[in-house]
Chains A and B, each alone.
Chain A
């Protein structure tokens, strides 16, 4: 249980590979389990671990429940995986809890749903997710060609879908941080993993929040309750492997399409005044209230009146002291919902932080699709958004909880009838967002669902040793 075994943990856990400006996500289907296992065994030697991630090329791999079944795990063995992973993101009750309804209904997804685009990318067809990263375009092309050649050579799998995120740094990047399509710096608040035996983390940066127990993000280590989250065990006739799940974790993957024109058109309409002219200053101010950070990333709780790029990476803030009434950062703002920090229910600040920390995610998303240049000029019909990836040891308590109890919950923080203003799915033009203010709150109306789910899957990101074990079975 001691220190994180970095050589066995896939690199994605500790790094978003920011130096790897290019990425390819290949979704594969197992055609021949014997050949596929052989491929997996060879792949294991190329997998980037957590020791020194981010050299010339990086390769990681994750598997769906259907993929593990296709590779030969029996029902009993699959039954030892976490229930949400077994059931999948599209099980009706999970779909409801995640708010994947209406335009985000899995029946309409391009991949991972019940039908899946052209009929080849349904949940049952998606078995393996191969994640490839490279620092430049040429290396990326080489890496992809090499991996496709390896797939052909072993012949056990076919590529059913290739997803291509936009190269980093994005056109609008701020420093080393990416900017998502709505125009905001993204990925600022990442939990730090407490790796040491004593839970301390020597690498903790100044001004960064306290590290989170390693077991929240990697199976086999103590979690936020000081316990071991149950992990998958293989005990089947193919050879017992009780620590199969150790050093692995669960990967939540969702393709989130963003309606950039719709978002800015809403901001424009909501901030028109008597002159009936668009005002960028007013739009930016409302957008900052919606997100909880200005475009640079500066938290509105720290800089309530204007953007302050010197605070762009600030992450050592809370709400209890400066903003108990939401008058700086609204209660319903995106970042206050997704991480309420030190204000939660009737708990005091220290307890609230302890409770918030039980629901953290490591995010590894990348933007896809071209930027929309004229955000007030209407939609250009191009697909754009975020390839959202989150790592967590307990999908129900972490990803699903954040999505259900914090983002989608109309009753969050004592509110009545509104969802996360960015991620919610109100009927077009029917959403409300309350901006706490003096002498009384402003209710901004006219929100639509600006984010639509286009595909998704729950995957298992195994330890490198577990990949070798899988390859050696049968």
Chain B
């Protein structure tokens, strides 16, 4: 099988379309029906398309309260190619869904190309896109799972128990021979290319950060080292301007945060009561949770008013996007090893911050990970947003906030909507499982010393 270049292997699309007035209930019913049978559905056959990792449909309101249909895709290769295929295999269902949305091409003379163009035109992408295993395709993940099961079956076979008495290297060699003799498994020895951003991402970020860093260092050097008086004073002035600007920004941030705190203290209704009243909406969300080992979050929070907050949020999202894409692209996001695909995206009206995540385990354990392992990152993003609960009090953008466990969990819940359709290509594989399977395959093709052979065997 020819291997294509996959430097930008997975794509995220977020198709955001307004629902027609009075069509909300019909659309919800249709989506629920499709969602109930997503594992076997011929109407929406994600299960037969081996290029989609996760997909979902949910309905959420924009800043003006207008309900929008959100179609999330995490796919191998470009979004357009996937959507073309989807329209090809499920055109009637796509029509059925999007006829409840504004602006869908009219029935007469509608071509598949029109539909794809319409969907692409409404794709708002992702401001932050996190992929646990950058560059790993669905097909590869499934094959590697089969390979591991095959190797385990060989080891567990009653007739092969003599292997236990042999050295790890000998067992490794024996397994390699078994695989070599199987023409179906030749792919296992073909190295899987690692995407550019996985190989070089950390270096690139370091280099990128070095440029402004060196610039400042240079200014400091010019300001303090003996030299031409004009140069020294220009450098000093630049440093003062830089420091002043930063100081002014921090001061503005703090005054925004203090104003938020004052409003919070003056709340007419305590956040616990607001949450208790709101949580009547939670039934639809809870009824879909913990059905499989993986779960989905679809949520939208209101971005705090004013250009300062929206500007700051975009800045933070940009930084998180770089960190997520170039540094944390090997199975964990700052210590959280349970996220397969996640994104933040700002709605086109600029008023809502959508969060979508496909993760292992329960909501409670996921939110616990947020608080225990990445409170700073989550606070940096969500402290710029608001909902009926209100984000917990935050200092200097990053501190406090998510560490207020009870309120942060209530805040997280209060933005959620029910995911009507949710598809996972590998509901039985955790992020750690995928990593282990990958390492089994890589180790199979490698020449292992005794210690490495023992470490490899532990994976089986």
Give the interface of A toward B (CB within 8 A): 79-80, 83, 92-93, 96-97, 223, 225, 227, 229-230, 325, 345-347, 355, 358, 396-397, 400-401, 404-405, 409-411, 414, 416-417, 436, 438-441, 443
B337: chain A residues at CB < 8 Å are: 345-346
A346: chain B residues at CB < 8 Å are: 332, 335, 337
Q: A79-B273, A97-B362 given. 9 additional CB < 8 A pairs?
A: A92-B287, A93-B289, A223-B405, A227-B403, A230-B272, A416-B428, A439-B168, A439-B171, A440-B164
> Nearest 3 CB-CB pairs, A to B?
A411-B430, A93-B286, A405-B365
Cβ–Cβ contact B291 & A96, under 8 A = yes
The smallest C-beta distance from B3 to any residue of chain A, in angstroms, reads 27
Contacts A97-B290, A346-B332, A346-B337 hold; do A416 and B433 have CB atoms under 8 A apart?
yes
Give the secondary structure class of B's interface: helix
* Cα A229 to Cα B410 with chains together (Å): 13
Contacts A230-B406, A411-B433, A439-B166 hold; do A325 and B458 have CB atoms under 8 A apart?
yes
B392, closest chain A residue (CB): A227
Contacts A396-B364, A405-B362, A409-B361 hold; do A345 and B272 have CB atoms under 8 A apart?
no
A438, closest chain B residue (CB): B454
Query: Which chain B residues in 251-290 approach chain A with CB under 8 Å?
Result: 272-273, 276, 279, 286-287, 289-290
Cβ–Cβ contact B404 & A405, under 8 A = no
Query: Which chain B residues in 157-175 approach chain A with CB under 8 Å?
Result: 163-164, 166-168, 171
**Would you call B45 an interface residue if the criterion is a C-beta within 8 Å of the partner chain's C-beta atoms?**
no
The smallest C-beta distance from A119 to any residue of chain B, in angstroms, reads 27
**Would you call B156 an interface residue if the criterion is a C-beta within 8 Å of the partner chain's C-beta atoms?**
yes
**Total B residues in contact with A, Cβ cutoff 8 Å:** 44
Cβ–Cβ contact A227 & B365, under 8 A = no
Query: Which chain B residues in 411-451 approach chain A with CB under 8 Å?
Result: 428, 430, 432-433, 436
**Would you call B293 an interface residue if the criterion is a C-beta within 8 Å of the partner chain's C-beta atoms?**
yes
B362: chain A residues at CB < 8 Å are: 97, 401, 404-405
A325, closest chain B residue (CB): B458
Contacts A96-B291, A439-B167, A443-B156 hold; do A225 and B405 have CB atoms under 8 A apart?
yes
The smallest C-beta distance from B274 to any residue of chain A, in angstroms, reads 11
Give the interface of B toward A (CB within 8 A): 152, 155-156, 163-164, 166-168, 171, 272-273, 276, 279, 286-287, 289-291, 293, 332, 335, 337, 360-362, 364-365, 368, 371-373, 403-406, 428, 430, 432-433, 436, 454, 457-458, 460
Contacts A227-B406, A346-B332, A400-B364 hold; do A417 and B428 have CB atoms under 8 A apart?
yes
The smallest C-beta distance from A12 to any residue of chain B, in angstroms, reads 25
The smallest C-beta distance from B159 to any residue of chain A, in angstroms, reads 15
Enumerate 11 A-B pairs (CB-CB under 8 Å) in ascending A order. A80-B276, A93-B290, A97-B289, A227-B403, A227-B406, A345-B335, A397-B405, A436-B458, A439-B164, A440-B457, A441-B458
B433: chain A residues at CB < 8 Å are: 411, 414, 416
* Cα A410 to Cα B428 with chains together (Å): 9
Cβ–Cβ contact A439 & B454, under 8 A = yes
Cβ–Cβ contact A440 & B432, under 8 A = no
A404, closest chain B residue (CB): B362
Contacts A439-B171, A439-B457 hold; do A409 and B293 have CB atoms under 8 A apart?
yes
* Cα A47 to Cα B293 with chains together (Å): 43
The smallest C-beta distance from A215 to any residue of chain B, in angstroms, reads 11
Cβ–Cβ contact B364 & A411, under 8 A = no
B271, closest chain A residue (CB): A230
B272: chain A residues at CB < 8 Å are: 80, 230
B335: chain A residues at CB < 8 Å are: 345-347
B293: chain A residues at CB < 8 Å are: 409-411
B287, closest chain A residue (CB): A93
* Cα A360 to Cα B286 with chains together (Å): 25
The smallest C-beta distance from A208 to any residue of chain B, in angstroms, reads 24
Cβ–Cβ contact A414 & B436, under 8 A = yes
Cβ–Cβ contact A411 & B432, under 8 A = yes
* Cα A75 to Cα B360 with chains together (Å): 35
* Cα A230 to Cα B332 with chains together (Å): 32
A439: chain B residues at CB < 8 Å are: 163-164, 166-168, 171, 454, 457
* Cα A223 to Cα B362 with chains together (Å): 22
* Cα A405 to Cα B366 with chains together (Å): 10
* Cα A358 to Cα B405 with chains together (Å): 11
Contacts A79-B276, A93-B290, A227-B406 hold; do A401 and B364 have CB atoms under 8 A apart?
yes
* Cα A93 to Cα B272 with chains together (Å): 22
A409: chain B residues at CB < 8 Å are: 293, 361
Q: Which of A83, A223, A404, A440 contacts B365 (CB 8 A)?
A: A404
B361: chain A residues at CB < 8 Å are: 404-405, 409, 411
Cβ–Cβ contact B290 & A227, under 8 A = no
Contacts A93-B287, A346-B335 hold; do A440 and B372 have CB atoms under 8 A apart?
no
Cβ–Cβ contact A411 & B360, under 8 A = yes
Cβ–Cβ contact B290 & A443, under 8 A = no
A396, closest chain B residue (CB): B364
Cβ–Cβ contact A229 & B406, under 8 A = yes
A227, A345, A439: most-surrounded residue (chain B CB, <10 A): A439
Cβ–Cβ contact B152 & A443, under 8 A = yes
* Cα A345 to Cα B331 with chains together (Å): 12
The smallest C-beta distance from A337 to any residue of chain B, in angstroms, reads 14
Cβ–Cβ contact A440 & B460, under 8 A = yes
B288, closest chain A residue (CB): A93
* Cα A93 to Cα B288 with chains together (Å): 8
Cβ–Cβ contact A225 & B371, under 8 A = yes
The smallest C-beta distance from A277 to any residue of chain B, in angstroms, reads 19
The smallest C-beta distance from B443 to any residue of chain A, in angstroms, reads 13
Cβ–Cβ contact B405 & A227, under 8 A = yes
The smallest C-beta distance from B431 to any residue of chain A, in angstroms, reads 9
Contacts A93-B290, A404-B362 hold; do A83 and B164 have CB atoms under 8 A apart?
no
* Cα A443 to Cα B372 with chains together (Å): 33
A436: chain B residues at CB < 8 Å are: 458
B430: chain A residues at CB < 8 Å are: 411, 414
B155: chain A residues at CB < 8 Å are: 440
A404: chain B residues at CB < 8 Å are: 290, 361-362, 364-365
* Cα A438 to Cα B450 with chains together (Å): 13
A410, closest chain B residue (CB): B293
